[in-house]
Structure 1
Amino acid sequence: MDTKVVDLLIGALIDGRYRIRGRVARGGMATVYTATDERLERTVALKIIHPTQSRDPHFLERFTDEAKTIARLTHPNVVAVYDQGVHEGLPYLIMEYVRGRTLREMLSDRRRLNPPEALAILEQVLAAVAAAHRAGLVHRDIKPENVLVAEAPGGGSLLDAVVKVADFGLARAVEASADDKGGQLLATVAYVAPELVTDGRADPRTDIYSAGIVLFEMLTGRVPYEGDKPVEIAWRHVDQDVPPPSKYVAGLSPALDALVARATRRDPGGRPSDAGVMLAEVQAAREEGTSAPAGAHAAAAPTMAVPLSPAASTQIISMPGAMPNQRPSWARLPDAPPPPRANTGTVHRAGDLLDRDKPGMRQRFASMVDTTGKRRAVAIALVLVGVLVAGSGYWFGVGRYTSAPSLTQITQAQALAKAKQHGLKVKIGPGRYDEKIAKGTVVGQQPGGNQRILRGGTVTLTLSLGPERYTVPNEQGRAYSEAAGALTAMKMVPKRVDKYDDSLPAGFVLSTDPGPGTIVPPGAQITVNVSKGKAPIQVPNVIGQDQATATQQLTGLGLKVATTQQQSDKPAGQVINQSIPDGAGVEKDATIILTVSSGPPQVAVPNVSNVGLSFDQANQVLQQAGLVGVQVLAIPGGQVRQQNPPAGTPVAPGTQVQLWITP
């Protein structure tokens, strides 16, 4: 007999608005449905949290706060959040419905992607995550299940696909509820960053690590670590470096190996600082990527709670085969070697020789040293004891130590070589910004130069990150609140300046000063010009009117008028241009400049009378000046004796000049 499980939410009306039509997927945290927004008549996605995730009394408050933060994150590669609410005690989100497949489904079908397609998808993923990082958000759970791919109509290359990232903030909302209980984090172990396993902290570099694992999987068709127990997989991220993709797929370029290696370094300080920096590196590597045949693909584990290290929490979730507060046996670190011990047996025997208080010992000792040979033996024994004691003391107090060399003010490579010469290991610690010291130069070490260090010990280096600088982002067209938040997150100080504008509604950013792409130090003031909407006065069209009429109309609207003259083929006094276009909005007392025609350009009438010229000769001179000679009185054989207009009179081109021809 077949048993069919009925989903009671199918067909339900949520909040009197959202009619659930079908189930799309069920994950570790929530179930996703398609629904119809009956108010706006559009298809949406409804994600409702599982009952097991909402038992904490403070969870709903945290979930609501995270939903508000996510809703403010506007980016074409981010799945938009439209609404949030609670249905029968379970919080839900209303999100943009993306008509496509998850990257997980695509990898299940295609097994793996060629490098150009993998990098094209990763670019859009990083673009979405970079927008979140600018807004101060960390995703914490980047994986193929949270990447939606809408392929171009008719299929074809994934280079034309649109990628959207979902579930920003959900992992943080659920994990925040778990924090009160302690000792667990919400993550997908195949993609979890080492710092999340060891101490539960996350920053933008945590997302970079997960994105690097996703790239590894797209290129190779598998995740780097697999195992039966999630806790073992999680700890392999801590203890092992991610192998290069070319180990599993021949022909992949070294640039791809380097990209994966940089994104998945176990030390967060070695990764790109955020998704924006990683995006630039991916775009560079995309030029060097090569294709390779598809290989096998392994499905990834779902998002789940995994135990933290003892340093991060004292309460660990027990898992099959792993004792609380313990790593699996294969992942345990080697025990520290026991400290060297002196040969205490020799010392005890010497102590017996030196113990003069035992009954009869003084007599036996006196008898023994009566002879020269026995005195020599005792002297030798005492010398040996002294040497052993002195040697042990020297080893424990001084001998096992050496002096650390000074490694500051040199490059990392030089410091590594110098430390190796002294038999020391090097660890690169968190860097720090410095206004004067070049990036990559050692600015600090622990222990310091000439300080005591165990032979073969480790020196921790602090490298200069160079001057702390940030690039002004392009905030044009964003709401001021979003732009100000992004600038503040990048250590800039926004200064709002409101002005009227016809192109954008009130409250949206027109421009910034300095503009996008400018490199600024932390604390730099950024002037943000914000639209006040259209100005209250709409400028009319006065072109073609005479100057007096146009001036009267504009001053009647409360505007100030200035004029300038320009020759044209239009009649003198006619307006031929205006500085503020027709229909533009301006404030009262704004000045508009009218360009008024001074008429066509004029020429001076040349002198052709009483200079001995015949009519034909005079007419030729006038034609060269752009004028026309006309005979008024003509006596054969005569010369020009009079002209009108007189010589030097300014006239329009083509004007007729009257000529009198007399003997």
Structure 2
Amino acid sequence: MDTQVADTLLGSLLDGRYRIRGRVARGGMATVYTATDERLERTVAVKIIHPSQAPEARARTAGFMERFTDEAKTIARLTHPNVVAVYDQGVHAGLPYLVMEYVRGRTLRDVLAERRRLNPDEALAIMEQMLAAVAAAHRAGLVHRDVKPENVLVAEAPTGGAANLVDSVVKVADFGLARAVEASADEGDGSQLMATVAYVAPELVTDGHADPRTDVYAAGIVLFEMLTGRVPYDGDRPVEVAWQHVDRDVPAPSTLVPGLPRVLDDLVARATRRDPGARPTDAGALLAEVQVARDDLGNPNNSHTAVLRRVTDDAPAVAQPTMVVAAVQPSERPAWARLPEGGPQRPHRRRAAPESDLRARLTALWAQVAAGSRGRLSIAAAVVALGLLAAVGGWWVGVGRYTVAPQLVSLTKAEAQAQADRAGFTITYAQPRYDETVPRDSVVAQSPTSAAKILKGGTITLTLSLGPERFPVPDVVGKDFELAEADLTSANLVVVKGSSRYDDNLPAGVVVATNPKVGTEVKPGTKITLVLSKGKAPISVPNLVGKNVNEARTALAQLNLVPVETYKDSDKPKDEILGQSPATGAGVEKGAQVRLDVSKGPPQVIVPRVVDLPCPQAKQQLEGQGFAVTMQFNPNGIVRFQNPPENSPVPPNTTITLGCL
């Protein structure tokens, strides 16, 4: 039987309006639930401060609740398409809570856990929307203080392409929540560092100071992680990681992922300078640099990308060669993310000479050359030479410079690279994809296809297989059926409503178990059967331990329950109940079986023969084996009979009667 820890908030009604339906996530300061706004009939997210946070904050300062309320009001006024909206706030059972927009999607942390790292165009697309949200907060006078992948939500793309991160909608959460709790800590011992150490800015470690440039530093670390699949520093203790931000420069992403454009190295370096004054002044300034980087990397006519410099520098940026990365063009971005129209003016070309002047000069030259026989011979030779050049050139342009692409599909990555190198081709890699038949890291597709025409020494783009797509069944136990169905459907799984069963811990309508079980590796399209709770069963099992088996039978019969008895050796009295299952107070249905462990009584011992022994000797022998002894007639005589007789099985401490004559 599965064991589920009950959450006392499930099913609760907050402020007579918000019905808690399921738990979504639990963080360091608060737990997030899904709830139904029964007034407006919509699904919302409710973030409730942990009991361990709120009492401590109130003990340190009486202004905690007032500060939390003020922060909630400030965040609610922060309206932006990339900011998780705050609808309401209140207090339940002494714990402050926020009511927020419910975003159906995953955190950036979940995306990185699945993909490990992102392509440059995906990383910059997410970075743009994330910085747009933080920039809106900076303009409103707010500092986020805890920018990290866990607080960045990646929702389903408006186009419906769940796998296309470039088109996904990004929203940033938790503005101001860390600040409200941190303010209470500042009035205490001042030692609490609210930012996650992997993304903490040096100035927060050294003097606890935070301003918009602190968020810029954290955003730079997030970009580093998206590009490389890891954070720049790690250590055995959080304090060790924090001080590495103070003592060391963040390494260039290309040192971990060779081939990344230089512009991305410069972008990360600018955002993560240890000196706050050397960073962009706020998220808006960094956003402008990210947009310039996307424009440069997405320009198919530009084989060089300019290295980013400070926005305020007058000197032109130094051009550095790098690879071209496909990206969304500025016209495809939402209006709030576009750069101003226009740009640097290109130099005008020199005006061509008038067509009439050129024709007159060519006519005079032709007349001069054709006037003599040698001139005409030269013209004929030139025409023949031009014809040969045209023929050779046409052959070269149409046929000679081409060859056929080799067959690389189904080869491993190493084999395909070696074969392409031998043939003089350059290999690039497209986004890998899952395939049920092609093994992982083998070629599943190529462009151009095998036997197709390709320039000698040209480039072949390979798509590698990720192998069969398998992922664990999401944990939806404890969620309402509707929310569990939405989560499983978004994971490309098919939901089937199975049977229901009683559960002592979960309310009716909540998922009790799944088949296959949570965590089982499945492929897309697998049917997941959900077992729902019917609430606690109507009959409570009584306490039967210590009672006689006949008394237990009577009690169970009165409740229409069926006893199933198992007898076991025990030093308890015979027929005494040793244990029961289900336990006392568990809910069961009518006709359910209750397993009873019943004592067989103490193990019996065999009575030895003492007939014909002197009575004192017989008594000593029997008492030494744990029997009680009574003697009749002559205590100093010879034993003529005994009761119980020899070899009789009897319980320990049984009294043996000896007849002595």
Could you tell me the TM-score, scaled by structure 2's length?
A: 0.55
Alignment of 1:40-51 (within 5 A): none
Please state how far the C-alpha of 1:540 moved relative to its aligned partner: 1.8
Contact 2:622 2:628 in 1 (8 A): yes
CA drift at 1:533: 0.3
Q: Deviations over 1:485-516 (max 9, x none)?
A: 22222222333331101011112222333333
State the shift of 1:655 in Å. 1.7
Paired with 2:563 and 2:412, the residues of 1 have a C-alpha distance of 66
- Which residue of structure 2 aligns with residue 299 of structure 1? 282
**Alpha-carbon distance in 2 for matches of 1:159, 1:460:** 47
RMSD of the alignment, in Å?
A: 5.9
Cα distance in 2 for residues equivalent to 1:550 and 1:602: 25
Which residue identity does 2:178 align to in structure 1? V
- Segments of structure 2 that go 5 or more residues without pairing to the other structure are 1-36, 41-68, 111-133, 198-212, 234-244, 265-271, 296-326, 347-361
Q: Aligned partner of 2:80: which letter?
A: M
Indicate if the aligned counterparts of 2:514 and 2:530 stay in contact, CA closer than 8 A.
yes
Deviation at 1:472, TM superposition (A): 1.9
Q: Which residue of 2 aligns with 1:458?
A: 459
CA–CA distance in structure 1, aligned partners of residues 567 and 592 of structure 2:
20
Letter in 2 for 1:548: N
What is the identity, as a one-letter code, of the residue corresponding to 1:649? S
Q: 1:397 to 1:523 in 2, by over 3 A?
A: same
Distance in 2 between residues matched to 1:221 and 1:460, nearest whole Å: 31
Question: After superposition, what is the alpha-carbon deviation per residue over 1:589-624, rounded to whole angstroms, capped at 9, x for unaligned?
Answer: 1111233333332212112113xx323432344245
Q: Which of 595, 598, 617 in structure 2 is aligned with 1:596?
A: 598
Partner of 1:531: 533
Of 178, 196, 221 in structure 2, the residue corresponding to residue 149 of structure 1 is 178
- Aligned pairs for 1:169-208 within 5 A: none
| C-alpha spacing 1:592/1:39, structure 2 compared with 1 (3 Å) | closer
Alpha-carbon spacing, 1:259–1:585, altered in 2? closer, same or farther (3 Å):
farther
Structure 1: gaps (5+ residues): 1-14, 48-66, 79-101, 164-212, 225-236, 268-289, 333-347, 353-360
3-state DSSP of counterpart to 2:148: helix
Q: Give the Å deviation of 1:469.
A: 0.6
Q: Is the 8 A contact 2:403 2:455 kept in 1?
A: yes
User: Could you say which residue in structure 2 is the equivalent of 1:582?
Assistant: 584
Give me the whole-angstrom Cα distance separating, in 2, the residues matched to 1:148 and 1:260.
35
Which amino acid in 1 is paired with 2:341?
Answer: A
Matched with 1:86 is none
Q: Give the match's secondary structure for 1:154.
A: helix
Please give the alpha-carbon distance, in whole angstroms, between the structure 2 residues aligned to 1:587 and 1:262: 65
Does the alignment pair 1:24 with 2:23? no
Alpha-carbon spacing, 1:222–1:570, altered in 2? closer, same or farther (3 Å):
closer
**1:140 correspondence with 2:160:** no
Q: Which whole-Å CA distance do the structure 1 matches of 2:647 and 2:629 have between them? A: 15
Matches of 1:661 and 1:594, distance apart in 2: 47
Pick closer, same or farther for the CA change 1:492–1:615 going to 2, 3 Å: farther
- Counterpart CA distance in 2 for 1:472 and 1:264 is 37
Q: Which residue of structure 2 aligns with residue 516 of structure 1?
A: 518
Partner of 1:124: 150
> What is the CA–CA distance in structure 2 between the aligned matches of 1:479 and 1:263, rounded to whole Å?
44
Distance in 1, Cα, partners of 2:337 & 2:653? 104
Q: Partners of 1:571 and 1:241 in 2: how far apart?
A: 70
Q: Which amino acid is 2:513 matched to?
A: S
Aligned equivalent of 1:428 = 429
Deviations 1:240-274 (A, max 9, x none): 999x989x99724659777899999999xxxxxxx
Partner of 2:508: 506
Aligned to 2:634: 634
CA deviation profile, 1:504-531 (whole Å, cap 9, x unmatched)? 1112222333333322222233333321
Q: Within 5 A, what are the aligned runs for 1:245-644?
A: 251-252=248-249, 296=279, 298-301=281-284, 322-323=341-342, 328-329=343-344, 384-412=385-413, 415-416=416-417, 418-419=419-420, 422-495=423-496, 496-610=498-612, 613-634=613-634, 636=636, 638-644=637-643
Q: Give the corresponding residue for 1:280.
A: none
Map Cα deviations across residues 78-97 of structure 1 (whole Å, 9 max, x no partner): 9xxxxxxxxxxxxxxxxxxx
- Measured in 2, the distance between the counterparts of 1:479 and 1:406 equals 51
Instruction: Tell me the CA shift for residue 131 of structure 1.
Output: 12
Residues 378 and 219 (structure 1 numbering): CA distance in 2 closer, same or farther, change over 3 Å? closer
Q: Secondary structure at the match of 1:573?
A: coil
- Give the direction of change, closer, same or farther, for the CA distance of 1:142–1:157 in structure 2 (3 Å limit): farther
Q: Identity percentage over the alignment?
A: 33
**Change over 3 Å in CA distance of 1:254–1:622 after alignment to 2:** farther
How far 1:129 moved relative to its partner?
5.6
What's the offset of the Cα at 1:105?
8.0
**Can you list the C-alpha shifts for 1:87-144, whole angstroms capped at 9, x where unaligned?**
xxxxxxxxxxxxxxx899899999999xxxx8xx636336x669999xx798723458
Q: Which amino acid aligns with 2:282?
A: A
Query: Partners of 2:156 and 2:193 in 1: how far apart?
Result: 21
Change in CA separation of 1:597 and 1:424 when aligned onto 2, cut-off 3 Å: closer
Q: Which has the higher contact order (CA 8 A, sep 6+)?
A: 1
Counterpart Cα distance in 2 of 1:42 and 1:112: 22
Q: Is the 8 A contact 1:435 1:466 kept in 2?
A: yes
> What is the DSSP-based 3-state SS (H/G/I as helix, E as strand, rest coil) of the residue aligned with 1:149?
helix
Question: Which deviates more from structure 2 when the two are superposed, residues 381-390 or residues 402-411?
Answer: 381-390
Aligned residue in 1 for 2:657: 658
String of CA shifts for 1:19-55, please: whole Å, max 9, x gaps: x9795155463898897669999976689xxxxxxxx
Partner residue, 1:270: none
Structure 2 Cα separation of the partners of residues 632 and 131 of structure 1 = 97
Q: C-alpha separation between the residues in 2 aligned to 1:379 and 1:650?
A: 135
Distance 1:541 1:111, change over 3 A: closer
| Counterpart in the other structure of 2:646 | 647
- 1: distance between equivalents of 2:334 and 2:142? 41
In the alignment, the residues of structure 1 paired with residue 603 and residue 222 of structure 2 have an alpha-carbon distance, to the nearest angstrom, of 80
- The change in CA–CA distance for 1:607 and 1:265 in structure 2 (over 3 A counts) is farther
Residues 351-381 of structure 1: per-residue CA shift (max 9 Å, x gap): x9xxxxxxxx9xx99xx8xxxx999999966
2-structure distance, mates of 1:131, 1:540: 51
Q: Tell me, yes or no, if the aligned pair for 1:34 and 1:46 is still in contact at 8 Å.
A: yes
Contact 1:632 1:659 in 2 (8 A): yes
Aligned to 2:185, the other structure's residue is in SS state coil
- Relative to structure 1, the CA distance from residue 223 to residue 489 in structure 2 (aligned partners, 3 Å threshold; closer, same or farther) is closer
Deviation at 1:445, TM superposition (A): 0.7
Deviation (angstroms), 1:541: 2.1
Partner AA of 1:537 in structure 2: I
The whole-number CA distance in structure 2 between the counterparts of 1:406 and 1:158 is: 60
Distance 1:142 1:251, change over 3 A: farther
Counterpart code for 2:649? P
Using a 3 Å threshold, how does the CA distance of structure 1 residues 259 and 660 change in structure 2: closer, same or farther? farther
Whole-angstrom CA distance in 1 between matches of 2:467 and 2:615? 87
**Is the alpha carbon distance of 1:542 and 1:255 closer, same or farther for their aligned partners in structure 2, counting shifts above 3 Å?**
farther
Distance 1:255 1:609 in 2: 99
Rate the CA distance shift 1:411–1:221 in 2: closer, same or farther, 3 A.
closer
User: Given that residues 580 and 594 in structure 2 are in contact (C-alpha distance below 8 angstroms), is that contact kept between their aligned partners in structure 1?
Assistant: yes
TM-score (norm 1): 0.55
